Structure 1
């Protein structure tokens, strides 16, 4: 064991060096910021432009195009960031540079202008490129002399990842939806900044680990490796396979086409700016120009891969083919799984019944309190253990970290109190009663018993009554923090099918927005008719935390499964991951049957049970598939090719994310032309077929892997 590592392990927390927990909290705050912003973006972009918490009212197609390019580039920039850190900056400086750039990105997004949004996303993409690959590199260097402890270290580290995602989506989402979008985006930036500070101030704990690389050290490392017989591999495996001129040309061309297509997609849809020609080689009525270029780029990339792989001997070639097959199915997985950032957010907001009253509200309050307080208490306990071990060496870092947690506790207590203190009232308002006409037959619709069906349209303050109008009174329940009495007159506003009470300031602002947009006012006047039990409206972002919660809850069970004699092969794990995840979409397809074709946001809402079950199956599928991924790239690919294959693996994930956002953005269009059930069936059938195929390929993949397990 080296002197540096030996000193590093003198200060321990839960059997690991204290520095690991500095990385734990740094990654936690970064994931807090990343997922906190991620859960807001589609919601914010597609929210109505006039309301108590207005968004930009983009179409889901436009929002999906922008988010997809953002998500895609997040997986490509770390390739360059890792190379720069390895050769120039060092891991620690790369992490700091990335964190600072991401902090600026979050601050930019909090401004809520179109320019600041685009600038913020660009900064987040660049910052992630520096940050993402180098945190794990520091851990790898930290444990290079103690490989037997590395699995435990990564387990602790990834608990930080999920803790950050959990609290980020919960708290940023709550502030954004209950107070204002800039509060959610701003909170993400604040904790990115605090995470950066606590990492930077913890420098004395790391010694030389993660420092700027020295050329002399690299030469010494090469000499030591060549002197160590254990590192001498088979001559055929280490045989050089340099990149030819043609390889380099193909890499440049395919990179240009890939990045150009990713950037052209949102630019052409949102700003009508075209990097690629709209028509290329064939008529745009058959295939659009960008799609033709993308197909050409894909063909050239396949030629590049075949050219590179064919130059290796049979064993290495076979193993690399196995990696390519796994990468292909990775695209299918992420194209469905990442719906959690797009279509599932919209489904939760527009078509899920998120309101709870009486006993249901009380049960939710208890569950949500336990769900929040227990994980936060556990992480706070780890913070106390870290403080005890390092208070003399990195006091300033601990003060920043403690301050971060005091802020988190304050927001959590405010959030829970805000929900508990919510009051429920039954209100009465006037509606226009009109026959419900079938679009095809042009006749009034009837129910199963033959009774005529009617629509009830709220009468707004801008509506002028007509002599033949049939006006009735309608009652509904609202949630409000204000203390109201029976008979009080209030202003309300319909938002995604829910009546929202307005404060005087909100009423004035919304009325001005209607006037400036030259629209009739949608404000409705109502009267309190009855005091009711408590009513809670669950935030849209709350459902997104379920993935992190289920990972924390079930990860240990899957670890025991993988360590048992029943540990399945890589192909079977992949197949199970795809199929189990698909079951989650099957549940949603079944649950959304009551949503008719062409339903608008808030028209029909389904039980939250379907979405909770979907996230459960999605997480179980992820836990099946996640152990395979990058670990098999490192096992199957020779050293000289590993950087290229890691890049290809991240490219597969990037393509999956882009496809996920593009397909998720089509939810409105598909729901209008068909129905919601058919939309979710796409993500049920395709992954199941892919899962069955990869399981059937198990014998072939085992043969291609030549004994690697």
Structure 2
């Protein structure tokens, strides 16, 4: 492969093509990811109503395998497919996964996640390798090229938060996945249009007789990992099913040991000249995994913090606001008005509330509610109607409607959350048609009709008598039919991407100015990034202190500060990590080495889900201090190894 000599603003002409391909792919990826946990655990707006621990486990496993499959995808690209073809196939498979998720039913939901995992394994590592391949060895523009590429990632991620919020508020959860699939298709189209230009970033698959072939990797690494993981899961599920670490998580961690051993031993299989660089990658993997464990809390613990502990009654365009439904008020402040009592319909059975929240109910339950509350009127919609069929007031009303199924078709399953508190999930057979779709309506004394929401007696008391017990006077109530508008919790995730776009040119200019006076190595930037990661978590520990252990919602400025600091750290770790992989690995193994980087990220991501699942078992202060301690320990580890890392990088220059 020969580097492309044609330049655009000093960079290879293939960089803009890869920038926009990645931007659209990341737009699609984060549009779905922003709402994944919320959709899985939601029981108020038609979500899956899974217990918080299970929803976080899905989130963690999805992100873990999204970053594990690049290990295989890198090998396939290196030795069989090449980079362009791998990216093309991966993009098409991911688009198929998002379209599958947009079809109602848990089978399509899980099938879509599997397709996303497989497609990402081919797409993600190899487009990053293509960026590195645009540059000749020793080209000083390489680091800034990765910074520019990283900006494309985060422009997509920034837009995704607003896209997912606006779409789900207006058209519901499933439309979010359809729109994300369309974004991925656009990225694939750009790849095809730039196919010839990107030939300079590709290379023919190459094999070395001293390297293990794909069959050997599968037989000696992947298969043992699968066998060990399954055996661990079976044993844990039988003997310690209620342990703090779930059997599935144990299976994943223990099952990954053969893969970890492979990467630890890999440097011993290369030539003496290549060995220092390969050994230097190992601590970089540790740093990357730790950082992404914290960063990807944005979709688990930090989004839960935004939903449960952040005051979200903030002025914003209507498209990015939603009604504050009953759970919002359990720790809302004294100045937050509560909904009118007439907005709520009290039912004794919490399973019925979950059925209503999931927008699925049987005829018998409907009859029981109308018999108890004869003043309720039913507003009928076409049972096949979708949110896209309505606009204005009709669209707002449709969000309170629930589908009615024949008796015996709705199964209410009782489960327990991480605290042992029972929760309920209403399940229906795949593709079961609804008989009706109705909203429960009441009238004001003036004759105005408005929709109501079903709650348990405990929730009702929490909103009104609980307020009076906390503040010593009855709450201010909104007009009947009105709800407090609050911004979507996932919007806070956009801050990370916003700060990446804003800070990237500043970081590039800052280190350009510093480098003219003092050499700051790539490894040193990684160390500084870990220090900033630690500081961001210490800030959130202070936020936990301000929340009085979650008893009151706190300002969103805490999250703004967290994302600003951790983003500065991200710009010193993530693009530098990608750059180091392409620097330190031999050319024939750079795809595999990039897979190792994403494997480390997979470990971190799995623990993002794990920590999100145990978040409410700890006080907020303790939770964030534990994470800060882990980040600080890895920062010290990298600082101790800096001389050896710098020497290894210098030796390859």
Q: Same fold (TM over 0.5)?
A: yes
In 1, Cα distance between equivalents of 2:649 and 2:12: 36
- Note if 1:206 corresponds to 2:194: no
- Deviation per CA, 1:132-187, whole angstroms, max 9, x where unpaired? 23434555555569956655554443322211111112212332245311121121
Paired residues of 1:561 and 1:567 also in contact (CA < 8 A)? no
Paired residues of 2:289 and 2:600 also in contact (CA < 8 A)? yes
**Please, what TM-score do these two structures have when normalized by structure 1?**
0.64
SS at match of 1:623: helix
2:61 is aligned, of 48, 65, 69, to 69
2:572 is aligned, of 624, 629, 639, to 624
SS at match of 2:46: coil
Q: Which residue of 1 aligns with 2:345?
A: 461
> Structure 1 pair 96/573, CA: closer, same or farther in 2 (3 Å)?
closer
1:557 is aligned, of 506, 524, 533, to 506
Paired residues of 1:96 and 1:131 also in contact (CA < 8 A)? yes
Paired residues of 2:295 and 2:566 also in contact (CA < 8 A)? yes
2:119 is aligned, of 123, 127, 132, to 127
> Structure 1 pair 623/510, CA: closer, same or farther in 2 (3 Å)?
same
2:283 is aligned, of 302, 325, 328, to 325
> Structure 1 pair 19/680, CA: closer, same or farther in 2 (3 Å)?
same
Q: Which residue of 2 aligns with 1:255?
A: 222
- Residue 631 of structure 1 and its aligned partner are, at CA, apart by 2.8
Q: Which residue of 2 aligns with 1:649?
A: 597
Paired residues of 1:72 and 1:655 also in contact (CA < 8 A)? yes
State how 1:66-105 maps to structure 2 within 5 Å.
Answer: 66-105=58-97
- Residue 244 of structure 1 and its aligned partner are, at CA, apart by 7.8
**Please, what TM-score do these two structures have when normalized by structure 2?**
0.69
Paired residues of 2:96 and 2:181 also in contact (CA < 8 A)? yes
In 1, Cα distance between equivalents of 2:485 and 2:253: 49
Q: Which residue of 1 aligns with 2:609?
A: 661
Paired residues of 2:14 and 2:197 also in contact (CA < 8 A)? yes
Paired residues of 1:107 and 1:120 also in contact (CA < 8 A)? yes
Paired residues of 2:24 and 2:156 also in contact (CA < 8 A)? yes
1:41 is aligned, of 11, 14, 36, to 36
> Structure 1 pair 122/291, CA: closer, same or farther in 2 (3 Å)?
closer
- Residue 198 of structure 1 and its aligned partner are, at CA, apart by 4.0
2:210 is aligned, of 231, 242, 246, to 242
> Structure 1 pair 591/641, CA: closer, same or farther in 2 (3 Å)?
same
SS at match of 1:73: helix
In 2, Cα distance between equivalents of 1:280 and 1:522: 35
In 2, Cα distance between equivalents of 1:132 and 1:572: 26
- Residue 613 of structure 1 and its aligned partner are, at CA, apart by 0.6
- Note if 1:590 corresponds to 2:542: yes
2:16 is aligned, of 14, 21, 31, to 21
Paired residues of 2:129 and 2:591 also in contact (CA < 8 A)? no
Q: What is the RMSD of the two structures over their aligned residues, measured on CA atoms?
A: 4.9
> Structure 1 pair 690/13, CA: closer, same or farther in 2 (3 Å)?
closer
Q: Which residue of 2 aligns with 1:692?
A: 636
- Residue 347 of structure 1 and its aligned partner are, at CA, apart by 1.0
> Structure 1 pair 534/656, CA: closer, same or farther in 2 (3 Å)?
closer
Q: Which residue of 1 aligns with 2:437?
A: none
Larger RCO of the pair (alpha carbons < 8 Å, separation 6+): 2
> Structure 1 pair 283/174, CA: closer, same or farther in 2 (3 Å)?
closer
SS at match of 2:281: helix
> Structure 1 pair 241/320, CA: closer, same or farther in 2 (3 Å)?
farther
SS at match of 2:235: coil
- Residue 78 of structure 1 and its aligned partner are, at CA, apart by 2.7
Paired residues of 2:165 and 2:319 also in contact (CA < 8 A)? no
Q: Which residue of 1 aligns with 2:368?
A: none
- Note if 1:676 corresponds to 2:628: no
Q: Which residue of 2 aligns with 1:522?
A: 455
- Residue 36 of structure 1 and its aligned partner are, at CA, apart by 0.8
- Residue 255 of structure 1 and its aligned partner are, at CA, apart by 2.5
SS at match of 1:75: helix
> Structure 1 pair 617/149, CA: closer, same or farther in 2 (3 Å)?
closer
> Structure 1 pair 682/556, CA: closer, same or farther in 2 (3 Å)?
same
Paired residues of 1:547 and 1:619 also in contact (CA < 8 A)? yes
State how 1:434-513 maps to structure 2 within 5 Å.
Answer: 460-462=344-346, 504-509=397-402
Paired residues of 1:99 and 1:193 also in contact (CA < 8 A)? yes
Paired residues of 1:46 and 1:56 also in contact (CA < 8 A)? yes
Question: Which range moves more in the overlay, 342-351 or 618-627?
Answer: 618-627
Q: Which residue of 2 aligns with 1:195?
A: 187
Paired residues of 1:251 and 1:301 also in contact (CA < 8 A)? no
- Residue 706 of structure 1 and its aligned partner are, at CA, apart by 6.5
In 2, Cα distance between equivalents of 1:310 and 1:139: 27
> Structure 1 pair 165/567, CA: closer, same or farther in 2 (3 Å)?
farther
> Structure 1 pair 117/654, CA: closer, same or farther in 2 (3 Å)?
same
Aligned residue pairs, count: 540
State how 1:279-298 maps to structure 2 within 5 Å.
Answer: 279=236
Paired residues of 1:138 and 1:210 also in contact (CA < 8 A)? yes
In 1, Cα distance between equivalents of 2:94 and 2:185: 9
- Deviation per CA, 1:382-433, whole angstroms, max 9, x where unpaired? xxxxxxxxxxxxxxxxxxxxxxxxxxxxxxxxxx46469x999xxxx9xxxx
SS at match of 1:58: coil
